[in-house]
Amino acid sequence: MGSKQVIISVFVTLISIFCLCIVKSEAQLKVGFYQNSCGLAEFIVKQEVLKGFIKDNGVAAGLVRMHFHDCFVRGCDGSVLIDSTPTNTAEKDAPPNNPSLRGFEIIDNAKASLEAVCKGVVSCADILAFAARDSVQITGGLGYDVPSGRRDGRASLSSEALTNLPPPTLNVNQLTQAFARKGLTQEEMVTLSGAHTLGRSHCTSFSNRLYNFNATTSQDPTLDQFYAGQLKRQCPQGSTNPNLVVPMDPFTPALTDVGYYRDILANRALFTSDQTLITTPQTQAQVLENAQNQFLWARKFSAAMVHMGQMDVLTGNAGEVRANCRVIN
């Protein structure tokens, strides 16, 4: 090969490496992604979350949970926001999400406001990630920078929510495996479970612990007796009301704090998947550490939310930016 051919070959190789680097850099989420294209994006989302929170402080818990449920199915692609059609039952109408997920109107309002000033720029997946962060901050948790640049997915299947979202009946080993499949550690699982300090649960999600625990006992023996009695009054056996709810944390249900971990240590956790966190030495130590140090847990929670928010994201030219978060373009 002549010297001219060598130079051309090296040049082509360098160009290829440069192009690959560009593609790779574009495929990464980054803080301030909309700084030039829609500088007020995060401010606009926060204003809508605040307005919704003033009307109903329960939407904060709803938005945090919605982001989690979005990321665990197909990655953080806004697929949980898509409405069902006559030919497809979407994620939001799967039993783990319906009727318990709430806050969709906040995302709709934020999207409408953003479309008015930055048409076709900010994805629904990013709006949801911003809204979850704002909800944590509004309720007393730490604010954190949200890397953005997600694109919206084009599919939403009820069946995938059923197979990917961990139910409230899992034990600690099953939970660890479910989170590991999503690239999250056991410590991150314990940390993110702390989101259950916010919001409410339908009685149907834990009534088995009160009335039908196993073949030998009707009530879960790990459940504090006084708390069990309180729950039975709130969720009477045989009730046909599907809308009965109780707070996840009976003392501070509207605050992002470590009350959840203190509840676990006092055997007042609502779900089996919460109480199970003190059944191994490793997870019990984390529960105790979190219960004793609000700031430490808040820092870990912020970091875990950022990590979870980067799960299987669509970037670059993948997916789309929906004009309406409920409908594929």
- Give me the active site residues, please: 69
Kindly tell me the burial class for residue 24, based on how many C-beta atoms sit within 10 Å of its own C-beta (0-12, 13-18, 19 or more). exposed
Report whether 77 contacts 169 (CB < 8 A).
Answer: no
Residue (of 194, 179, 173) closest to 261 by Cα position: 194
Q: Which residue has the tokens 């509840």?
A: 263
Report whether 72 contacts 125 (CB < 8 A).
Answer: no
CB atoms within 10 A of CB 162: 15
Whole-number Cα distances in Å, 296 to 16, 290, 303: 45, 7, 11
Report whether 167 contacts 49 (CB < 8 A).
Answer: no
Q: How far apart are CA 133 and CA 77, in angstroms?
A: 16
Q: Label residue 248 left, alpha or beta by phi (over 0 means left) and psi (-120 to 50 means alpha).
A: alpha
Q: Going by C-beta distance under 8 Å and a sequence separation of 6 or more, which residues neighbour residue 216?
A: none
